[in-house]
Amino acid sequence: MNKSTTFRKIVGASTLTLAAAIAATSVANAATWRYAHEEYDGDVQDVYAEHFKDYVEENSDHQIQIFEFGQLGESDDIMEQTQNGILQFVNQSPGFTGSLIPEAQIFFIPYLMPTDMDAVVTFFRESEAINEMFPKLYAEQGLELLQMYPEGEMVITLDEKATSPEDLQNKKIRVMTNPLLSETYEAFGATPTPLPWGEVYGALQTNMIDGQENPIFWIESGGLYEVSPNLLFTGHGWFTTAIMANQDFYEGLSEEDQKLVQEAADYAFEKIIDHIDGLADESLAKIKEASDDVTVTKLNDEQIEAFRERAPQVEDAFIEMTGESGKKLLDQFKEDLKEVQNN
Ligand code: 6CS
């Protein structure tokens, strides 16, 4: 064997060893990250999670394991598991986070958000309150906020048709478990009843409550129209949700993996905006097809005004609950919204 063949063999062998070592390191660094959300297979949060998973798995050796509603408990349970580091990612809606981060209740001030979807999406993309102020508030609770996104316009479902706050008197309306949402329904004339999601269908079925609010896709997918068939479109807000990571986990990632996570969150955001476009109309059509008992009431401007004029007292309650920090957030929120509407 001549010198050059020997040299090539040695180099070849060491290249192979190096490649094997790199492969072993990358397998050793490949992790399985646990991600829980609050919805079921095919619902908006699940679609977001699947896109996030696709991006991560296509662009790294890491795997994402998704847990849907109920597999690990209620929304508050998955948040606790994330704060404890048992889960790496959690999708929790401000409807529940509001009890942990009072400022997150801002989404429950009625008639703050526009009804037009393009304006809502632009707001989420560009808002300084959403993209700069909220991450700091979540960080105080050990959470790295990755993205906030809208799921759909809120619609009230009731046991009877209604068109005014007077019609809501004595109606027990289920609300997610944050105090400001209770203020909203009190302002609307109703009796708010905070409940975790798992109890809502049964409570409607047994008439423990008379109604609830949610986006149409969820009213359809959860079969809520079967037990609460009168739909009332008041235009008072959007269901918003948020995806976040345990902050210690996130800060322990390499720069490359942090970038991967951010890109996956942005990628899934774009996908979800496409997904929700037209989803409410499709879901309403499915509901009408499935049930003859369903009624749909879309309030006119004058009827909406009767609800809207009760919003300022909820805004006052928000400021009372959140102090200076909430006031600053609300001012920025309003400024961001004005900018979106002016453009
Ligand atoms: O009303 C609720 O509690 C649920 N609504 C939606 C649209 N997603 C998850 C949440 O738990």
Which of 214, 216, 221, 240 to mutate for ligand 1's pocket (most ligand atoms within 8 Å of CB)?
A: 214
Q: Is 72 helix (H, G, I), strand (E, B) or coil?
A: coil
Can you give the pLDDT at residue 24?
Answer: 46
Can you give the pLDDT at residue 343?
Answer: 84
Give the residue among 96, 92, 82 at the shortest CA–CA distance from 147: 92
Q: Ligand 1: does its nearest atom lie under 6 Å from the Cβ of 239?
A: yes
Q: Ligand 1: does its nearest atom lie under 6 Å from the Cβ of 151?
A: yes
What's the CA gap between 233 and 254, in Å, rounded? 47
Kind plus residue range of the DSSP H or E element containing 11: helix 3-29
Does this model's pTM top 0.75? My answer is yes
Can you give the pLDDT at residue 17?
Answer: 55
Expressed in angstroms and rounded, the spacing between residue 68 Cα and the centre of ligand 1 is 12
Residue 101 C-alpha from the chain's centroid: 14
Domain 32-342 has CATH 3.40.190.170: yes
Mark out the alpha helices in 216-254 (DSSP H runs).
216-221, 224-227, 247-251
Can you give the pLDDT at residue 3?
Answer: 44
Expressed in angstroms and rounded, the spacing between residue 39 Cα and the centre of ligand 1 is 7
Specify the residue with its C-alpha closest to ligand 1, atom 4: 197
What's the CA gap between 15 and 12, in Å, rounded? 5
What's the CA gap between 35 and 49, in Å, rounded? 8
Q: Ligand 1: does its nearest atom lie under 6 Å from the Cβ of 176?
A: yes
Surface-to-core class of residue 273, CB atoms within 10 Å of its CB (0-12 exposed, 13-18 middle, 19+ buried): middle
Can you give the pLDDT at residue 29?
Answer: 82
Q: What is the DSSP string of 106-124?
A: GGGSTT-S-S-HHHHHHHH
All structural domains of the chain with their residue ranges: 32-342
What's the CA gap between 23 and 19, in Å, rounded? 6
Expressed in angstroms and rounded, the spacing between residue 69 Cα and the centre of ligand 1 is 10
Expressed in angstroms and rounded, the spacing between residue 121 Cα and the centre of ligand 1 is 20
Give pLDDT tens digits along the chain (343 positions). 444 444 444 444 454 454 454 444 455 589 999 999 999 999 999 999 999 999 999 999 999 999 999 999 999 999 999 999 999 999 999 999 998 999 999 999 999 999 999 999 999 999 999 999 999 999 999 999 999 999 999 999 999 999 999 999 999 999 999 999 999 999 999 999 999 999 999 999 999 999 999 999 999 999 999 999 999 999 999 999 999 999 999 999 999 999 999 999 999 999 999 999 999 999 999 999 999 999 999 999 999 999 999 999 999 999 999 999 999 999 999 999 999 989 8
